Structure 1
């Protein structure tokens, strides 16, 4: 019975996947998982490197010309982008009264406007193909808020409105747009918080642990899959229950 049920599960259709910000942390984990699942994967990066087997494209999503060049390179090497994972993001944390215009502009330019640019560039080929998956990486902070992160929270909340508008615009063409909201995930960034801060955050999480990068990557894999063809405009939290009710 078990073997028959397993055999009935269709294999994932190999797709061309582009992950922005794929050199470290969550983005790198997503690129690795999608590659391991048999997809053709490209990832943009500004520094560092990308996983072996992934097509690395150096690009800054705040520069329109670099976005265009990145898509052209991916299309030439792997074909049109069928799955877009808009993950590139930065932080410039400080309290409101100390936050400069530059702190605000830099975070919005990367996290929100950058996502808009890559979505706009990906949309036309997806519409022509009548198939596409867009996944925007937000954060639990976009729903809960966080002192010292006015810019970051605003940018991550904005992705929800963007994705839901795209879901309405593009749904009739077979293109889905969804948002993933990770909570506190074990990355180099959270490692810098210190043991006391990590214990404090962990105590607020119903599952009692920080998330792993692969927890997020697995959810992305689902939203990008054929199995999620009837899921669009969704906000999927991967936060151990931290943001329940939001």
Structure 2
């Protein structure tokens, strides 16, 4: 097992005879990068090709072990239809949409501040979030080959992402998933992350790669929230609110 899975899992046999599998930091970084690479592209049909989640690597690994009134007077792609009986209740929907919009605004702020570089839009208000020019890949790992992250809320957000993506990729359980609840839990993990894990100020100056990795987590979160909103909940994923 170590010979065939050593780059993906750390493997340990414990005294009870059980085999413990721990995903390596490098494999987790590769998986997160695959989410960033899909940012902004879903909703046009590409996500129906499920192998595009990192070439299907995560599936194989699993086998192994302020709402305001801005814009009411103008028509835009951010205007969302009102929920009906087939759509999630507004008290769950708004926090999900707010988290998505907040991710978008923070990523664009990172672009304006020079922490990351996105490909310039070809049309007004249509940044192609999936086209990250630099840093590419995101510096997920430090010089010791470990993940940059050092706060519990970073790992909670990663854990929620893993759980949601597992549900998306596994058709045997996907039909029974309560997507509004899954997306709501992801949005709450994002809120805790944003509240407790800084990107700007001292972090940007003293630890720019950590700031970039945290922006990478925002990109990954945006991509997953966008897919759930548009493909599972059949509503819009607003760029701003």
TM class, shorter-chain normalised?
under 0.3
Q: TM-score when scaled to structure 2?
A: 0.24
Name the structure where strand makes up a greater proportion of residues.
Answer: 1
Structure number with the bigger relative contact order (C-alpha 8 A, sep ≥ 6) is: 2
Q: TM-score when scaled to structure 1?
A: 0.24
